[in-house]
Amino acid sequence: MGQFEIQREKIHKIGAFQIIVVVAAACLVHGVMQGVHDNYGIMLNGLLSITHVDYAGISFCIGAGALVYGFAQPFLGMLALRKSNVFVIFIGILFTIVGLAITPLCRNICTLFIFFGLVLPFGTTGLCFGIVMGAITPVLGERRAAIVSGIVQASAGIGDALMSPGLEKMISDFGVRTAMTVTAVPFLVMVPVALWLGKKNRAYTVAARDKKTIENQSLSSILKNAFVDRDYRLLLIGFATCGFNMSIIESHLFSQYLSYGISGKTASLTLTVYGIATMTGAVVVGFLGTKFRMKNILGCVYAMRVLISLAFLILPKTVPFAFLATALLGMSGDATVPPTSGIISRKFGAEKMAVLYGFTLIGHQIGAFASSYLGGILVKMNMGYDPLWTINMILAIIASIASFSIRNNRNPIGNV
C-alpha cells in the first residue's frame, strides 16, 4: 500500500462525532448558498421596483447567472484540484457577499448584469454541491460520502424552507436592499466554518498532491477521458434537461403563482414546502442509491417530472394544487444530484468529482438559461407559462430514457 493510500486510510478512521460535525459544516455552506440561488425569483419581484429594469431584463440577468453557475464550475473544480476545495469556498464567500450587497444599488441593465448576473452567481458557484462534496469526501471516504451526499443536497431544502418566506417578508416590509444585505450576513459566518474544513482536509490534500496521476492531469485530459465514456454523455443529456426544470422553479414559479391570483405570502409558503420536500427527496434518494442501481433511480426521478409537467398543463391552478405540485417538484428537484454525482464519483474517482460534476453543470445551466430567459419572453408576450411546461415534459421524457440507458457497469466501489 502506497503512502497516499495509507494516509487516506488514517483519515477515514474518524469517530461518529467528527462525522456529524463535518456533515453539519458542509450542510451549512451548501444550504445557505442554495437558499440564495433558489430564490432569485423572489428577488426579481423586489428588484423590479428599484432597478428600472423590466421583467424580461431581470430574467435575462438570472439566465446569464445560470450560465455562469454552469461554465465556472469545471474551472473552479480544477482550481480546487490544484489548490484546495476550501480555497474555492473562500472565493465563493467573497463574491457572494459582494453580489448581494451591490445588486440592490444597481439602476440600469448593465450594472445589474454585472453584479446580479455575473458576480453573485460566480460566488454561489464556489459554494456549490460539487465543491463542498469534494471538500468532505476525502475525509469521510467514498462509501460514507454516498449516503452523506443526499443529506448535504437536502440542506438545500433547509435554505429554501427558511429563506423563501424570510426573503419575501423582508422585501415586503423593508425593501429588497435591506433583505439582500441581511442575507449576506450568514456568509460571514461561513468563514470560520471554511477554516475548520480546511484544517480537516489539509492532510488529505498534502497526500493527494503526491499522487502523480492526479498532479499531471490537465482539465482537457480529464474531460477528454470522461467524454469517451458513453455513460458520462448520457448523464450530460439528463442534467441539461434538469436545468430547464429547476430554473422554472427558481425563476418563475413564484411569479406564476401570483398570476393565478395566489397571494405573495401563500406563494412563498409553497416554496417553504418545496424546501422541505427537496430535503426529503434528496435524503431518500441518497439512501436508495446504496440499495438500488443509481441509473434506475435517476430514470424514475426524471419520469416523475413528466407527470408533474402534465399536471401543470391540465389541472386547475388552485391553492391546494400549488402546495401539492410544489411538494412534488421538491421531491424530484434535487433528487437528481446524489445519483448523478454518485455515478461520476464511482466511475472517475472522488478527486475528479468536482471537475466532472462541475462540467455536467454546464449543460444543466444552459438548460436553466433557456427556461429562465424564455419564461421572461413568454410573459412579456402574454403567452403565459404553459409552453414552458410543455417543453419541460418533452425534455423530462428524453432525460428518463437517457438515464435508463446507462450501462450497469461494475467497478471497485460498486454498481452504477
Greatest mean pLDDT range, 91-105, 164-178, 345-359, 396-410: 91-105
Q: How many CA atoms lie within 13 A of 350 on its CB side?
A: 23
pLDDT digits (tens, 9 = 90+) for 113-123: 999 999 999 99
Hey, which of 100-104, 173-177, 359-363 has the most confident mean pLDDT?
100-104
Mean pLDDT on 226-234? 87
Q: Stretch 279-294: mean pLDDT, rounded?
A: 81
Assess whether pLDDT exceeds 90 at residue 32: no
- Looking at 1.10.10.10, 3.40.640.10, 1.20.1250.20, 1.25.40.10, the CATH number of the domain 11-208+219-404 comes to 1.20.1250.20
Q: Which residue has the higher pLDDT, 24 or 14?
A: 24
Say whether pLDDT at 214 is over 80: no
Distance in angstroms (rounded) separating the CA atoms of residues 248 and 292: 30
Cell numbers placing 368 = 436553466
Find, among 24, 53, 330, the residue nearest to 193 by Cα: 24
| Per-residue pLDDT, 300 | 93
Question: Is residue 11 predicted with pLDDT exceeding 80?
Answer: no
Cell of 323: 402546495
Cell for 1?
A: 500500500
- pLDDT, residue 59, reads 85
pLDDT attached to residue 201: 65
What are the domain boundaries of the chain? 11-208+219-404
User: What confidence score (pLDDT) does residue 325 get?
Assistant: 92
**Given pLDDT bands bounded at 50, 70 and 90, which one contains residue 9?**
very low
pLDDT for the residue numbered 143: 67
SS3 38: coil
- For the residues 401-410, what does the mean pLDDT come to? 79
Reported as a single tens digit per residue, the pLDDT across 300-336 is 999 999 999 999 999 988 999 999 999 999 899 878 8
Contact of 285 with 230, CB cutoff 8 Å:
no
Task: Map residue 411 onto helix, strand or coil.
Answer: coil
- Of 43-52, 178-187, 212-221, 368-377, the poorest mean pLDDT is in 212-221
Mean predicted lDDT score pLDDT of the chain: 82
Q: Looking at residue 118, what is its pLDDT?
A: 94
User: Which pLDDT does position 4 carry in this prediction?
Assistant: 41
Instruction: Answer yes or no: pTM beyond 0.75.
Output: no
CB atoms within 10 A of CB 130: 28
Mind listing the pLDDT tens digit for each residue in 138-172?
777 666 776 787 788 778 777 667 777 888 889 88
